[in-house]
Structure 1
Amino acid sequence: MPAFEYKALDRQGKQSKGVIEADTARHARSQLRDQQLMPLDIQPVVEKESRTSGGFTLFKRKISVAELALLTRQIATLVAAGLPVEEALKAVGQQCEKDRLASMIMAVRSRVVEGYSLADSMAEFPHIFDDLYRAMVASGEQSGHLDVVLNRLADYTERRQQLKTKMAQAMIYPVVLTTVAIGVIAVLLAAVVPKVVGQFQHMGQELPWTTQLLIASSDFVQHFGLIVIGLIFVLVALFKRLMNNPAYRMKYHTVLLKMPVVGKVSKGLNTARFARTLSILSASSVPLLDGMRIASDVLQNVRVKQAVEEATARVREGTSLGSALANTKLFPAMMLYMISSGEKSGELEQMLERAADNQDREFESNVNIALGVFEPLLVVSMAGVVLFIVLAILQPILALNNMISG
């Protein structure tokens, strides 16, 4: 039975909205009238979601990783308690505080009631339940251990949320420091320096090169500062447009991997994500080739994704997973060793999980090292700029004092 989102008025004229299950929109209106409600708007949930998520929209009806983890954990708990899937979905949908979450859950339930599997029902919302999520749910349904797989999915989504939170917290200080540094220097050049240094131009003698450079920089900021800011926005928009081109995106991601510090962090992020995703899928009894295909889809770097796809083709031809990944020359030696030993010992699932844990630790270490290098460099650079400004101001003053004393 399909689910419909509705807006209606009660007897007091107060507007209410929610989700209702009905065979058709007319049936939904009839049910609302039976509840003493005057229907204003009724739309099928799936149709509304697909229209909102398709194409370019300013606001997509997505949910946060934390919300997805909570929903997954709730469904897993109810399924483990012996409730049928449709009843578990109904209970979770009724407990949701946000209307859009309740609408989505009830729409999935309506598909399950119609006879579709849970994974196929979730396919109606690909912007919420990605390929990895649906593949694991499908394997859980086929193996009869849906509750175990859902709990594993909840752990995975929670771990991903923790990683994002750590990254955000780690980036707060560098971003704030960079913004303040640029702002202070811009204010000094645009407002303070002209008032202090401008009088030196009337001294009738040649100014030191530092003062001349400072005056030129100040004039440039005053006359072209806004133009430079506008140019930066144009370059950012142009960059995003170029990234929509597969060829340019491939070149950029390839160069990114070769950069000294950023490349190591990017490579660590993608290899860690691949190892974690493949370990989760392997533990959920997803075939290796399907797992590699799905794991490649969650990678952000196009060059790494292409390498994994090439490795998948080699595995399909009979090459071992460790050898196929080694040919890409992108995965760390320790990870390759652990995967190869897991294949030989028949414990690939456990070794993939250990490799994923090791890659996560290495990635966090690389991020900390990168930030540890960036922050002192930024402080030293800002101090150098301020020192240059101070020297450029003091040199003419000292020269004037020497002239007076002479």
Structure 2
Amino acid sequence: MPYFAYKGRNARGELLQGVLESADSGGVADQLFSTGVTPIEIVATSKPKMDGADNWWTKLTEPKIRPIDVQLFSRQLHTLLKAGVPIMRGLGGLQESAINKSFGRVVKDLRESLDAGRELSAAMRRHPDVFGPFYLSMVRVGETTGRMDEIFLRLFDQLEFERDMRERVKTAMRYPMFVVIAMTIAIAVINLFVVPAFAKVYAGFNAELPLMTRVLIASSNFTITYWPLMLAAIIGAAFGFRTYVATPKGRFQWDKIKLRLPIVGKIMLKAALSRFARSFALSAKSGVPIVQGLNVVAQTVDNAYIASRVEQMRDGVERGESILRTAVASGVFTPVVLQMVAIGEETGEIDDLMDEIGAMYEREVDYELKTLSSQIEPILIVGLGILVLILALGVFLPIWDLGKAAMHK
């Protein structure tokens, strides 16, 4: 996504400036408003650079900043602030002890920004690829309420939850992906090497070959003749898909389609709704107004389609509608969740109940991921069986027919 340089003023009238990443200038304005900053000027710019990162060799060899780095940073900062350590001294210690040198440079920039009079949220806003909109908004809430140590602990818990979800999805998909890759390689080897060898043998029979054998040989000849074009088409299709998905419209359409995919679609939906519920509960417990909280939470669900539904909820609440009514209109929540939202609104404990909703979805996702392999295995076995059957019929039917002819003689 492109980067935009901004100038704005916070609630105290102080001038702030920095660089944010967003799809357009309107997205930057929304991010700024959600953190209590009124934008004055927003212009397109290049990606912000940090000291020591301009050298091409440094860019090539420097370690990437991982989510675990931000997670550990949140936990360490919580411990330091809770112990009464001044934030400048705490950041200095974290900079010196940083194992990831790239993240160490980010911490150094945070210290320098604080030393220049910026707030911590404004300093973090200079690194949109490290600290996301939700993280920035929660830090802003901590600055407003004076509960920075508690905010960083909650952010640590949230990041741990998201990391655990990603790891479980990767673990569940490892075996199916391995089987699919192995089948793809097997098909390529059969078409390029196995079938041509048998085709030379069958050519000496001077007899009409069975249909399955002719199909195999035609497929093999096509692959051998046009494999450069097929490879170029696959690469072009992959590049075109990535380019389309990188656009706001393309990402929206793809995220909508993902939720309708067999087996994995329901897991993606529940995972996104779990992130929404957890994030909403965290922002509500931290004292963020509901409208502002929904605006920020929409950016954490990692799905443009669901994010648009959450934004519709925000617009409805802004018009004075209840959370329940807007949740029903969104069309993405289950009846059980809607019932809990209704109870939460009546009792004023929406934050606790949203936490329970997040935990419920998390348990469902955990169960779905544990059974994912068993759900995909029958499909893979059927696919592998069809492949073996086609290969066996195509290769051995001519030999079988030849043997029958010899017996009749």
For normalisation by structure 1, the TM-score amounts to: 0.82
What is the distance in 2 between the residues matched to 1:224 and 1:82?
69
Deviates more, 1:239-248 or 1:340-349: 239-248
Q: Which residue is 2:84 aligned to?
A: 82
| Percent identical residues | 25
> Aligned runs of 1:167-316 on 2, under 5 Å?
167-316=169-318
Deviates more, 1:110-119 or 1:164-173: 110-119
Matched AA of 1:122: M
What is the distance in 2 between the residues matched to 1:357 and 1:282?
16
> Aligned runs of 1:7-406 on 2, under 5 Å?
47-48=49-50, 63-406=65-408
CA RMSD for the aligned pairs? 2.3
What is the distance in 2 between the residues matched to 1:246 and 1:83?
43
Shift of 1:320: 1.3
Match of 2:330, SS state, is: coil
Match of 1:129, SS state, is: coil
Match of 1:169, SS state, is: helix
Number of residue equivalences: 357
| Residues 171 and 128 of structure 1, relative CA distance in 2, 3 Å threshold | same
Matched AA of 1:357: A
Q: Could you report, residue by residue, the CA deviation over 1:334-355 in whole angstroms, capped at 9, with x for unpaired residues?
A: 2222222111111111001111
| Residues 62 and 181 of structure 1, relative CA distance in 2, 3 Å threshold | same
* Structure 1: runs of 5+ lacking an equivalent: 1-45
Aligned 8 A contact 1:265 1:363 in 2: yes
Shift of 1:164: 1.3
| Residues 365 and 307 of structure 1, relative CA distance in 2, 3 Å threshold | same
Shift of 1:369: 4.6
Higher-Rg structure is: 1
What is the distance in 1 between the residues matched to 2:194 and 2:49?
58
Shift of 1:157: 1.0
Shift of 1:205: 2.1
Shift of 1:371: 4.0
For normalisation by structure 2, the TM-score amounts to: 0.81
What is the distance in 2 between the residues matched to 1:363 and 1:59?
37
Higher RCO structure, 1 or 2 (CA under 8 Å, sep 6+): 2
Aligned 8 A contact 1:211 1:392 in 2: yes
